Amino acid sequence: MRKPAELLPGTLDLLILKALSLGPLHGYSLLLRIEQISGGSLLVEQGALYPRLYRLEEQGLLASEWSTTESNRRARFYQLTRDGEKRLRQETESWNRVASAMSAALRARPEEV
Amino acid sequence: MTRLRFLLTRLFRRSQLDHEMDEELQFHISARAEALEKTGLSPAEAQRAARLEFGAMERYKEAGREELAFHVWHNLQADIRYGLRMMRKAPGFAAVAVLTLALGIGANSGMFGIVYGLLYRPLPYPDEGRIAAVHLHFSPQNNPRGNLSLADFADWKAGNTTFEQVAIYARSRFTLTGSGEAERVAGAAVTADYFSILSIKPMIGRTFQPGDDAAAAPTRVVISESLWQRRFGRADDAIGRVIEVDGNPATIIGVVRRGYDFPLPNIELWQNVRIKVTRRGPFFFQGLGRLGPGVTLERAQAETNLIGRNIERANPGVYSNMTMPVEPLRNYLVGNLRPALFTMLAFVMAVLLIATVNIANLLLARGSTRAREMAVRLSLGAGRRRLVQQLLTESVLLALAGAAAGWLLAFAGIRAFRAFNPADLPLTYQVHLDWTVLAFTIVISVAAGILFGIVPALQSARADLQTPLKEGGRSGSGAAGHHRMRSTLVVVEVAVSFVLLVSAGLLLRSFMLLQKVDVGVNVPPANVLTMVVTPKATTDPKNPSADSPVTRAFYQRAVENLGRLPGVQYAAISDSLPPDLESDDDTFSIAGRPWSDQEFPSTTLPRISPDYFRALGVPLVRGRFFTPSDTAESQPVVIISASLARRYFPHSDPIGQKIQASQPGGNTSPFMDVVGVVGDVKYWGMAMDARPAYYVPFTQNLSPTSFLVVRSSNPAAALAPIIEREIHAVDKDAVVRRLLTMEDLLSESVAEPRFRTLLLTGLGALALGLAAVGIYGVIAYSVTQRTQEIGIRMALGAQRSHVLGMVMRHGALLVAIGLGIGLLGSLAAARALSRFLFAIGPGDPLAFALGLILLACVGLAAALLPALRATRIDPLVALRYE
């Protein structure tokens, strides 16, 4: 496996939103889900996750509540709010635009200039 | 909305949230540990690995707390609690700091309230920038804000194209009788467009409209809400009611809300002017106009000047060099105060600045005693930023406490300022403490707190950790440079204090001498009661030269009845009173002795009843007083003052000579026989010499409003109710006001010098206090710095008295240099004050000596405390310091 790439700033939020769009999760499984959907190629610092989650909740993009896991333990679950869904859509579009622009620029051959 | 809910939960359920965060992170770690266990690790190893993987828990928890953003509030709370605890532990220091700040911030709040209220707070007239005050300016009177007459107004109105609306008004005080007690209210006579120029809308009824100032219109009045409430209980049927204003019936047509200070503070009644032009004068009115849309002030000014020139041409001999100055309303009200107000504001801000520097000095001195506390906290891991934050919080707390105490001072100051209102400034509703002033106070308090706290805070937080923890030691580098700067500042404070003290001393001496001046009254002033009496059936107040037999009869009966009351020795009337209530002045001519062209004698002309001189104890030098047989039908007589006799009859007996009063345009007044000479009395103020005066009997020459004078053998104030009752028995609608003893009148006469003296004395005391605090701070700090040196000296055998002398010498040096510099400043200030000084010169040695002694004593006393502390230094403890 290639060495996991470090996250660009700002992308963690987008990953969290995406991961939660597939269903409500608690912090630990959210981490696992992010690793899963990124194919293991993105590195997420474990402890840094939680401050981000609190910030996103304060911004109104997530909502949290305490519940029980399958193994009957207490944990805080996060889910997307409607604002969060909207933000996910916007940020995804924006990311795709930037990415395709960057790819095109990086593919430029000398004779095209 | 959810944001707000989050915020509130975080503020008030902080510990619960903290606990939850803990639980969440723990869950994460145990979940990871479980996953690791499945790869074969033992439970303990798995836990350990998971924890290591996770990283520094505390750091994430702290980051988490930051995201939750409640740490700011939590820290602030902790800082405030800590700050309050520190203040309790050093109450002396806190008291001095809070008191100093109270004076500095309070003075600033009050001054700001006054400046803002007068110069910036919007007047209650919408679009006040378009309202202009208009006056006449012509020779020879040469008054740049001269009055207009009705004729001038008619001409102006006819020629006006630049103003949308024009009006004139005259300030007045109206006597109300009829439904209720007689009273006098502040008011104005105005023309029809006055209310619409000022955009004043009625609460009920209506205000004046075109037609209300027609020559044949009946008397109508608009009253204020306060009058409506007081006199009519806010009754709806007040509209249409008829009341008596100055004895004439007037219909109330409307009520406007309270809150107006123009043209008189707290004005309550407006009466309609009837425009009936019969002659050019009298010049009673002032002009008001609202500029038309798009019209500039310059254009309006050009037009009014043109109108003025036309008026001059059309009325030869009446005006010359006539212009009609136009200025914005606010300018007219307070414009000429601007420089004085800003000077005072700058001064109080400078005082606050000095105060903050003082407190910074004190904090620096204290900083060295808290060095160990800071070192411990730093070594335990407190961030320097947190430490500085906490120390600044303490400083701002001190400043806010000072501001709270200062608010009271500002309140008292503004009350005093409002009470002393000689120029009818718009003070009642414009100048008061409100949210704007409060906001200003908070801003300068926080700024002051940060200003005086920042340097000591940075210094404390910069302290190196080793030295203080090793059993004491000193913090603070660059001590020499800082010390010199602090000493210089204190020397400047001392100099400024000296200037203020000398100025205050000069004014005090002058004031005390002024109070002792002899005004010509030889009865104990508390035994003489005076009052202003206006009978109901008074004449047209706009034309005071006429007099009525009804008025005369009223005064005659009043004086007779009062003279018979028990406790009253003499009762009299007069239209002038000492020390400064001259009603009329005149020139005169002596029969058979025409004046040369240069002579233009100006005299006071009181109109009195026979017992006047006896009531005031004025001595009779020659001849006789007036008697009841000097009536309107008998030979006109006159009594002259001693100075008039001396100046104009130096070698002959004035008794029997004839004097004629003057009259404009040809003299038809009768020649009066001089029947007596009396002692001089001052009617022109206590600071001036008595002017020559001649007295005439009121039976032959009456004013419509006179003073009543009553002399008793005991303090006369107690007689007031009896006297009032007696006057109302003669005329139930007479208005009696300003019942004051001669003592009160004398005191009132010097009200302005008294105010000046008090103000400057207060400022001098303030500066003195600040200088004392400053000296204390600098000396205390230097003692702390020199603790080791002092310890060594004492260990080597120096006596305590030697140490005391050493420290006191330092203090004395500061005071001496300050006094030297201050001496030059005080000489200059004294010269600037010389026109306010009475009977002493600007070099009066007593004032200078007083200031010098006071400052020296206070300064040395301030240095004494730390000096005594220095003598108590235990050399063993001092030597242990690194």
Give the model confidence (pLDDT) of B86-137 as tens digits: 888 888 788 888 988 998 899 999 999 999 999 999 999 999 999 999 999 9
> pLDDT-based confidence at B569, cuts 50/70/90?
very high
Backbone angles phi, psi at B467, to 5 degrees: -60, -50
B152: buried, middle or exposed (CB in 10 Å: 19+, 13-18, 0-12)?
buried
Q: What is the DSSP letter of B162?
A: S
**B731 pLDDT more than 70:** yes
Taking CB atoms and an 8 Å limit, are B59 and A47 in contact across chains? Answer: yes
Give the integer Cα–Cα distance in Å for B872 and B868.
Answer: 7
B493 class by beta-carbon count within 10 Å (0-12 exposed, 13-18 middle, 19+ buried): buried
Interface touch B6/A58, C-beta < 8 Å: yes
Return the top range by mean pLDDT from B46-55, B91-100, B186-195, B739-748: B186-195
Longest Cα separation, chain A? 64
Task: Find the mean pLDDT for residues B77-81.
Answer: 85
User: Pick from B178, B300, B307: which is nearest to B246 by CA?
Assistant: B178
Of the residues A34, A58, A67, the best mutation for testing chain B's interface (the one with the most B CB atoms within 10 Å of its CB) is: A58
Position B257 pLDDT exceeds 90: yes
Q: B64 and A73: CB-CB below 8 Å?
A: no
Mean pLDDT value across residues B535-558: 64
Other C-beta atoms closer than 10 Å to the C-beta of B677 total 23
Asked if B246 and B538 touch (Cβ cutoff 8 Å), the reply is: yes
Residues 6+ apart with CB under 8 A from B545: none
- In this predicted structure, what is the pLDDT of residue A5? 56
Tokens 């000493």 found at = B487
Q: Please answer whether residues B686 and B540 qualify as being in contact, where contact means their C-beta atoms are separated by less than 8 angstroms.
A: no
Tens-place pLDDT, residues B373-424? 787 777 777 777 788 888 899 999 999 999 999 999 999 989 888 877 766 7
pLDDT digits 0-9 by tens, B209-252:
999 999 899 999 999 999 999 999 999 889 999 998 877 899 99
Does the distance separating the beta carbons of A74 and B31 come in below 8 Å? no
A26 in reach of chain B (CB within 8 A):
yes
Nearest residue in chain B measured CA to CA from A63: B2
What is the C-alpha to C-alpha distance for residues B128 and B703, in angstroms, rounded to an integer?
40
Whether the per-residue pLDDT at B541 is higher than 50: the answer is no
Q: Is B52 on the interface with A (CB under 8 A)?
A: no
Give the tens place of pLDDT for each residue, B852-878: 999 999 999 999 988 888 888 778 777
- Encoded amino acid at B22, one letter: D
Q: Within 10 A of B597 (CB to CB), how many other CB atoms are there? A: 5
Disruptive mutation site among A54, A62, A83 for chain B (greatest number of B CBs within 10 Å): A54
Q: Which residue has the higher pLDDT, A50 or B550?
A: A50
pLDDT for residue B547: 54
DSSP string computed for B800-835:
HHHHHHHHHHHHHHHHHHHHHHHHHHHHHHHHHHGG
Q: Closest residue of B to A74, CA-based? A: B27
Pairing of strands B658-661, B588-590: antiparallel
Q: What's the number of CA atoms in the CB half-sphere (13 Å) around residue B508?
A: 17
> Which residues lie closer than 8 Å to B421 by C-beta, 6 or more apart?
B265, B427
Over 60: is that where the pLDDT of B476 sits? no
Residue in chain B closest to A58 (alpha carbons) equals B3
- The Cα–Cα gap between B754 and B749 comes to 9
pLDDT score of B78 more than 90: no
Residue B543, CA atoms < 13 Å, CB-side half-sphere: 7
- Asked if B27 lies within 8 A of A75 by C-beta distance, the reply is yes
Query: Which residue from A28, A54, A57 is facing B31, i.e. has the nearest CB?
Result: A28
Instruction: Flag the least confident range among A40-44, A101-105, B80-84, B137-141.
Output: A40-44
Is the Cβ of B23 closer than 8 Å to some Cβ of chain A? yes
Find where tokens 């992308």 sit. A11
B12 at interface of A, judged by CB pairs closer than 8 A: no
Per-residue pLDDT at B544 exceeds 50:
no
Q: How far is CA B214 from CA B192, B218, B275, B276, in A?
A: 9, 9, 6, 8
* B7 has pLDDT over 70: no
Nearest CA-CA distance, residue B60 and chain A, Å: 6
Between B239 and B362, the more confident residue is B239
Whether B835 shows a pLDDT value over 60: the answer reads yes
Predicted confidence (pLDDT) per residue in B307-351, tens digit: 999 999 998 877 888 999 999 999 998 877 888 788 778 878 878
CB contact under 8 A, A50 and B66: no
Is residue B781 a contact partner of residue B807, using CB atoms and an 8 Å limit? Answer: no
Check B53 against A27: CB less than 8 A apart. no
Asked whether the beta carbons of B852 and B498 are under 8 A apart, the reply is yes
Interface test with A, best of B11, B25, B27, B28 (most A CBs within 10 A): B28
Q: What is the C-alpha separation between B205 and B518, in angstroms, rounded?
A: 55
Q: Number of CB pairs < 8 Å for A and B?
A: 59
What string of H, E and C letters represents the secondary structure of B31-94?
HHHHHHHHCCCCHHHHHHHHHHHHCCHHHHHHHHHHHHCCHHHHHHHHHHHHHHHHHHHCHHHH
Taking residues B608-637, report their average pLDDT: 90
Residue B205 φ/ψ region, left for φ over 0, alpha for ψ in the -120 to 50 degree band, beta for the rest: left
* Residue B440 confidence (pLDDT): 96
Asked if pLDDT for residue A4 goes beyond 60, the answer is no
Name the nearest CA neighbour of B112 among B373, B410, B419.
B410
Chain B residues with CB under 8 Å of A25 CB are none
- Taking the CA of residue B446 and the nearest CA in chain A, the distance in Å comes to 31
**A58 touching chain B per CB within 8 A:** yes
Residue with tokens 């707190």: B449
d(CA B772, CA B818): 12
Among the partner residues B31, B54, B69, nearest to A47 by beta-carbon distance: B54
AA letter at B537:
A
CA-nearest residue of chain A to B58? A47
What single letter denotes the amino acid at residue B497? Answer: S
B315: exposed, middle or buried (Cβ count in 10 Å: 0-12, 13-18, 19+):
middle
Summary mean pLDDT of chain B: 84
Question: What pLDDT, on the 0 to 100 scale, is given for residue B472?
Answer: 43
Q: Is the pLDDT of residue B882 over 50?
A: no
Please give the ipTM for the structure prediction.
0.81
Partner A, chain B 54-93, Cβ-Cβ below 8 Å: 54-57, 59-60, 63-64, 66-69
pLDDT the model gives residue B358: 83
More confident: B842 or B440: B440
**What distance in Å separates the CA atoms of residue B379 and residue B461, rounded to the nearest whole number?**
11
pLDDT at B74 over 80: no
Classify strands B735-741 and B528-534 as parallel, antiparallel or unpaired.
antiparallel
CB distance A46–B54 less than 8 Å? yes
Question: Binning pLDDT at 50, 70 and 90, where does residue B471 land?
Answer: very low
* Burial degree of B564 (CB within 10 A; 0-12, 13-18, 19+): exposed
Burial of B840 from C-beta contacts in 10 A (0-12 / 13-18 / 19+): middle
B114 close to B341: Cβ distance less than 8 angstroms:
yes
Q: Which residues of B613-772 form beta strands (DSSP E)?
A: 620-623, 637-641, 658-661, 671-678, 694-697, 706-712, 735-741
pLDDT over 90 (residue B189):
yes
pLDDT digits (tens, 9 = 90+) for B578-604: 888 777 767 777 887 777 665 667 788
Among B473, B484, B472, B477, CA closest to B462: B477
Residue B279 near chain A (CB below 8 Å): no
Residue A72's SS3 state is coil
Name the pLDDT band for B825 (thresholds 50, 70, 90).
Answer: confident
The H-assigned helical ranges of B315-383 are 329-334, 338-367, 371-379
Which of chain A's residues have a Cβ under 8 Å away from the Cβ of B27?
A: 26-28, 73-76
